[in-house]
Amino acid sequence: MAVPRGSLRSFLSRAKSALRSSISNKSPLTLVIGNESADLDSITCSILYAYLQSSAPTAGRQVRLHVPLLNIPRADIALRPELLALLPHANVDADHLITLDDLPDLARIGSELPPDITRWILVDHNALQGTLGSVYSKRVVGVIDHHDDEGKVPQDTGDEPRIITKSGSCTSLVTNYSRDAWDRLSTNALSSGAAHGQDDSLADDSAVTTLWDAQVAHLAMASILIDTHDLTDENKTTDHDRKAVEYLAAKVNMSPRISKDFDRGMFFTKLSDAKRDVDSLSLTDILRKDYKQWSEGDQTLGMSSVVKPVDYLQRKASEATTQQDGKVDVQVSERATTQQDSKVDGAFMGAIKDFAAERNLDIFGIMTTFTADDGSFARELLVISPSETGATSVKKFVDNSSAELKLEEVDGRNEDKTLLRYWRQKNVSCSRKQVAPMLRKAMSMQQ
C-alpha cells in the first residue's frame, strides 16, 4: 500500500519505523541501497527512489513502501561534510537517515532478517557486495546504475526497473525514471488535499506540495551537480544529467518559498567546498570516507577516492606522528595542498599498509582528484600490494592499462615485501568507475 504523501522528513521517519516493525514481526520488506562507498550520489538516489516509489501511483505496478538504506554505519555520516551541508535544504536531520546500524547485527542478520521476506533494489551499483551480498544477493529485484553491468541482476525484474547505462550521476537516472510518478504524486496531492494542515506556516495545499517537491529536488540536484561539476565536466556530463537538472530546477522554482533564495551556482559551490573540507579528518577517515571493496577469486581489492593530492595525504600521515601532548602541529596541517613530485615517505607508507592489512587486501588503490597549480583538473593513482598474487595482478594492470590511463610514474618500488606504484594519471576522464574494473580484470586473469 502506498504511504500518504508527506514531506521527505516524515517519509524517512515512517520508513525507519516500518523497518523496525518488519524486523520484529518478520513481515515483507523492500529496501533500496546504494553502494558501499555511500558517496552523495548513492545516498541521494536511494532516498529519491524510495520516496517516490513509496508514494506515487503507477499503472501496472504494486505500490509498496520502499526503505532507503545507507550502506554505512551511522558514525560514518560525520565523514561526509557535503551530506551534512545538504540535509538542511531538504529539511532533514542526520538522525532521520537509515543506516546499517538500523539492521540486525551482521553476524546474525540472516536469521533476524530472513532473506525470503526481503526485496532489494540496487542504485549506483549492480552487484550487492560483502555480508549483505552473501545473504541477500538472490533477493535483488531491481537496479538503476551507471557502472559497467556485472550481470548479477536478473534480466527480468518484474515491476521494478533494470536500468544500467552511462551517466554522470546515478541520481540523474533515478530522476528521469521517476518523472511521471513524481508529477502524478504532486498532482494527486493537490487535487486530494493531501497536504492540508501539515504545515501551518503555509497558506494552502499548493504551497505545501511545491515546498516538499523543492526540498526533494534540492536533495537530488546536489549529487548531480557535484558529480558533473555543475554540468561543466565534458568527460562525465551526459544528456541524462542535463535533462534531470532542468527538471529538478523547475521543481525548485515552483516553490515561492524556496526559489527566492535559490542560486544553482552558489548551491554547487557550497556543497563542493564542503566536500573538499577534510582538514578535520584523520588520514584513516579520509581513506574510508569514499571506499569500495571487491573480491575476484581469492584476491581482494580496496579503493579509496580522495579529493586531495597524495602530497596532502603524506602531510596528514606526518601530522599524526608529530602530535605532542594532544596538539597537532598547525604549520603542518595548514601547508598548501598542491601536488609535489615527492616520493612516498615512511609515515604515509606505513599508514596505508596498515589500512590494507586491517581489511586483508591484496591490492589497495588510492585515486586522488584536485585542482593543480595551473587551475587544471588533475588525478593521481597510487597502488600498493602486500601479497605476491596481488603484485602480479598490479603488474598485469600496468601492462594492460597504463597506456590508456596515460600513467606517468612518480614512485615505484618494493619495500618490506610490499609493491608500491604511484603515478600521475594524465587521462583524467577515467575515474574509479573505469579504473577499478581494469584492476579487477587483471586480478581475474590469475583465476
CA 24, distance to chain mean position in Å, is: 29
pLDDT at site 207: 86
CATH number at residue 434: 3.10.310.20
Distance separating the N- and C-terminal Cα atoms of the chain: 47
Give the pLDDT band (50/70/90) at residue 155.
very high
* DSSP line for 362-377: SEEEEEEEEE-TTS-E
278 lies in a domain? Answer: no
pLDDT reading at 354 higher than 60: yes
**Mean pLDDT in the chain?**
89
User: Do 162 and 305 sit in the same domain of this protein?
Assistant: no
User: Do 268 and 353 sit in the same domain of this protein?
Assistant: no
Domain C-terminal end among 211, 243, 272: 272
pTM comes to 0.88
277 lies in a domain? Answer: no
User: Do 245 and 102 sit in the same domain of this protein?
Assistant: yes
Q: From edge to edge, which strands make up the β-sheet containing 162-164? A: 66-69, 29-33, 118-123, 140-145, 162-164
In DSSP terms, 20 is beta-bridged to none
**Residue 23, φ and ψ in degrees, nearest 5:** -65, -40
Query: Stretch 140-163: mean pLDDT, rounded?
Result: 95
Task: Give dist(CA 10, CA 2) in Å, integer.
Answer: 14
pLDDT at site 185: 86
Q: Please tell me the number of Cα atoms within 13 Å of 317 on its side-chain side.
A: 19
CA dihedral for 207, 213, 216, 220, sign (positive or negative): negative
User: Do 253 and 364 sit in the same domain of this protein?
Assistant: no
pLDDT reading at 60 higher than 80: no
User: Do 240 and 306 sit in the same domain of this protein?
Assistant: no
User: Which residue range(s) make up the domain with 48?
Assistant: 8-272
Q: What confidence tens digit (pLDDT) does each residue in 279-334 have?
A: 999 999 999 999 999 999 899 999 999 999 999 999 999 887 665 345 444 333 33
Give the pLDDT band (50/70/90) at residue 341.
low
CATH number at residue 41: 3.90.1640.10
Q: How many domains does the chain have?
A: 2
Radius of gyration of the chain (CA): 22
User: Do 341 and 409 sit in the same domain of this protein?
Assistant: yes
User: Do 237 and 315 sit in the same domain of this protein?
Assistant: no
User: Do 302 and 326 sit in the same domain of this protein?
Assistant: yes
* DSSP line for 256-286: HHHHTT--HHHHHHHHHHHHH--TTS-HHHH
Element (H, E) at 413: strand 407-415
Domain C-terminal end among 210, 242, 272: 272
3 lies in a domain? Answer: no
pLDDT at site 280: 92
Query: Stretch 181-194: mean pLDDT, rounded?
Result: 72
User: Do 264 and 345 sit in the same domain of this protein?
Assistant: no
| Residues 145 and 164 sit within 8 Å (Cβ to Cβ) | yes
304 lies in a domain? Answer: yes
Domain C-terminal end among 222, 246, 272: 272
Query: Stretch 376-382: mean pLDDT, rounded?
Result: 94
